[in-house]
Structure formats: structure tokens, C-alpha cells
Amino acid sequence: MSDVTPEQVIAQIDEWRGHEVRCEVLSGAVTNRNYLVTVDGKAGSPGVGRFVLRIPGEGTESFIDRECEQRNQLAAAAAGVSPTVLHLIRPSYCRVVPFVEAETLHPATIAGRPDRLRLVVQAIRTCHEEADFENETSVFDLIRDHERMARELFAPQPYQIEWMLWVGQRIERALQRDEPPAVACHGNLLSENFLLSPQGRLWLIDWECSGRADPYYDLGSLCVEHPFSAAEEQAVLTSYRGSPDEQRYARMMLYKLIVDLRWSLWAMIQCKTSTLTFDFYQYGLDRVARFCDNAAHPDFESWLRHV
């Protein structure tokens, strides 16, 4: 909610009253506003320390169930893969989490680093196996919702979109074969959602897209968001499963296309709804181009047959 200020949120945190509180903008967010909050006082006193305050972006409630996000982040924290939520301010759904002293990862700091890639896959597997999410999510239902919303808003429609939707339908039918059980998925595995502490602990943040889903959607999301080689993509699957599996590899690769289809439609909607100074149109076009490249992969038809 863009009309909420950090000062208004800070005033609602009882533990911070009577302390000197400083607030500065954190960069990197696309749809929300993030702030580093420093609360001065005697070390160890309640409420003293450094925290991250997130204010949801305007219009994000159209895509995100904030109550589900809250429950899932707490479940991920219980599984040991996410910082917990310290304060949740309703009805704005502004939230405060601990500030984690860690390196924010980037595509180039994961790709080409087998040690980091193993940590990333291990964190994903831990979430899938140990977190307990209640809400079921379907990326194909989300795509249909995004398509409907884009039409209603007269959002930009790159000329490839109709063909992409047709390809998406082919993939959806193929993925209905031999579906694995749904697990607790993060749903948006951008590199910036991984934090690596100096002690080597990996944290996952940003649970807005989380829910119970096909685990290979998460793995496909990881692969499409990073410039991995074919060998690294095989390593993702092998590290996750413990051994190679060509059928599951095909499933992961098909989800790479679905991830870009989803976010390209989302980006076009943002062109009509977002007030942020971000080039959502170009962001969407980049997704479209990558979808087309992956659909032209010589093994694409084989993936559809063998998934």
C-alpha cells in the first residue's frame, strides 16, 4: 500500500517506543518498498537491533494472499530456511523481520559456483520436505487469471502471447502425466531471494508466491532465473534427487517455459497497474524472448513426450 509511510508503521511497534529509531531505504525490490530499521538501545533489550521493514506495493493484493504468505513464512522459518516474522501490521500487511547479516546472491554469484549451487538446492529440498504449507497453488490457474486480467485492463500484448499460451497448454497437458505429490514450494526462486551468511548458512526470503505445488516448478524457476550450463541444470536435478532422472529432468525443463509465461503476463499487467518507476514492459519482453528461445530448444518435443 503506497500511502503507508515507514514512520506510520514504526509508530505501531510497541517495542520500539522510547528508542531512537533510524530508517533507510533498501534497494532491490521491484513491487514492494523495503527499509533497514535500526533501533538503538542497550544490547539484548527487547526490540533493539536491526530489522527489515517491508511495505507492500500498491495493487499487490490483486496477486498475493498476505495471510497465506504470513503462514508460509512462519512455516519456512520453523523448517530453518527463512527468517521469522517479528511483527505483522494489519490491514496494511507491513511486516518486520530480523536483518540478516549476509550476502544477497545474484545470478553470476550462483552460476559457475558448484558449492553455492549445492547449498541452494539443499535449501530448496529442505523447504519441500520439512515446511508445512496449507494452500494449494496452480501455476496454470494463475496464468489463466493473468490472461483474463490482462484482457480486462487492455494491457500490452506482445504478438507472441497467443502462441505462447498455446504452447503453455501443450505443456500443461504433458505435465498432467505422472504428477509428483505437491510440496511446500517457494514459487519465485530469483537469486536475490537467497541470502548467504558469512558462516555459510543459506536463507530464503520473500514468500509472496509460496504454496503447495509441483516441486519441479521450483527447480524450473531456479534454472530459468540463472545462466546455468546444461551440466549445471543436470547437477540441480541430481543434487535434489540424489541421482539423475531424465523424466524428471524433462519436467523441470518444461517448467522453465511456464515460469517465463507466467511472469511475462504479470509484467504486462504491471504496465497498467503499477506506479513504480520500473520498466515492466521491457522486463516482460525479456521473458517473452527467453520463452521463445527455450521453446525452440531441439529437445523440447522430446521433453513433452517423455515427461
Q: Looking at the structure, do residues 17 and 70 belong to the same domain, yes or no?
A: yes
Q: Walk across the sheet containing 202-204 and list its strands.
A: 103-104, 194-196, 202-204
pLDDT tens figures, 8-43: 999 999 999 989 999 999 876 677 899 999 999 877
What single-letter DSSP state applies at residue 46?
Answer: T
Q: Residue 42 belongs to a domain with what CATH number?
A: 3.30.200.20
- In sequence order, the β-bridge partners of residue 20 are none
d(Cα 221, Cα 244) in Å, to the nearest integer?
A: 19
Per-residue pLDDT, 47: 84
pLDDT tens figures, 37-59: 999 987 767 789 999 999 998 77
| Total structural domains within the chain | 2
- Does residue 66 lie within any of the structural domains? yes
Q: Looking at the structure, do residues 152 and 206 belong to the same domain, yes or no?
A: yes
Q: Looking at the structure, do residues 124 and 247 belong to the same domain, yes or no?
A: yes
Q: Looking at the structure, do residues 281 and 174 belong to the same domain, yes or no?
A: yes
Identify whether the C-beta of residue 203 lies closer than 8 Å to the C-beta of residue 83: yes
Q: Looking at the structure, do residues 87 and 228 belong to the same domain, yes or no?
A: no
- Does residue 226 lie within any of the structural domains? yes
Confidence of residue 279 (pLDDT cuts 50, 70, 90): very high
Q: Which of 76-80, 210-214, 271-275 has the lowest mean pLDDT?
A: 271-275
Which of 83, 98, 113 lies at the terminal end of a domain, its last residue?
A: 98
Question: For residue 185, which phi and psi values (nearest 5 degrees)?
Answer: -100, 145
pLDDT at 1 over 50: no
Q: Looking at the structure, do residues 161 and 275 belong to the same domain, yes or no?
A: yes
The residues near 149 (Cβ < 8 Å, ≥ 6 apart) are 62, 155, 269
Q: Looking at the structure, do residues 14 and 119 belong to the same domain, yes or no?
A: no
Question: For residue 116, which phi and psi values (nearest 5 degrees)?
Answer: -70, -40
The arithmetic mean of pLDDT across residues 170-185, rounded, is 98
- Does residue 10 lie within any of the structural domains? yes
What single-letter DSSP state applies at residue 180?
Answer: P
Q: Looking at the structure, do residues 66 and 119 belong to the same domain, yes or no?
A: no
Which of 98, 113, 131 lies at the terminal end of a domain, its last residue?
A: 98
- Does residue 192 lie within any of the structural domains? yes
Q: Looking at the structure, do residues 206 and 222 belong to the same domain, yes or no?
A: yes
pLDDT tens figures, 55-91: 998 777 778 999 999 999 999 999 999 999 999 999 9
Q: Which of 41-45, 95-99, 185-189 has the lowest mean pLDDT?
A: 41-45
**Counting every residue, how long is the chain?**
307
Residue 98: strand, helix, or coil: strand
Q: Residue 289 belongs to a domain with what CATH number?
A: 3.90.1200.10
Q: Looking at the structure, do residues 243 and 129 belong to the same domain, yes or no?
A: yes
For 111-139, the DSSP string reads TT-HHHHHHHHHHHHHHHHH-----B--H
59: left (phi over 0), alpha (psi -120 to 50) or beta: left
The arithmetic mean of pLDDT across residues 271-294, rounded, is 94
pLDDT at 288 over 90: yes
pLDDT at 294 over 60: yes
Q: Walk across the sheet containing 33-39 and list its strands.
A: 21-26, 33-39, 49-55, 94-98, 87-89
Which of 68, 98, 128 lies at the terminal end of a domain, its last residue?
A: 98
- Does residue 1 lie within any of the structural domains? no
Per-residue pLDDT, 30: 73
pLDDT at 99 over 80: yes
The arithmetic mean of pLDDT across residues 175-184, rounded, is 97
- Domain encompassing residue 72: 6-98
Q: Looking at the structure, do residues 20 and 126 belong to the same domain, yes or no?
A: no
Q: Looking at the structure, do residues 50 and 178 belong to the same domain, yes or no?
A: no
Per-residue pLDDT, 44: 67
d(Cα 10, Cα 247) in Å, to the nearest integer?
A: 50
Greatest Cα pair distance in the chain:
64
d(Cα 197, Cα 217) in Å, to the nearest integer?
A: 26
- Does residue 278 lie within any of the structural domains? yes
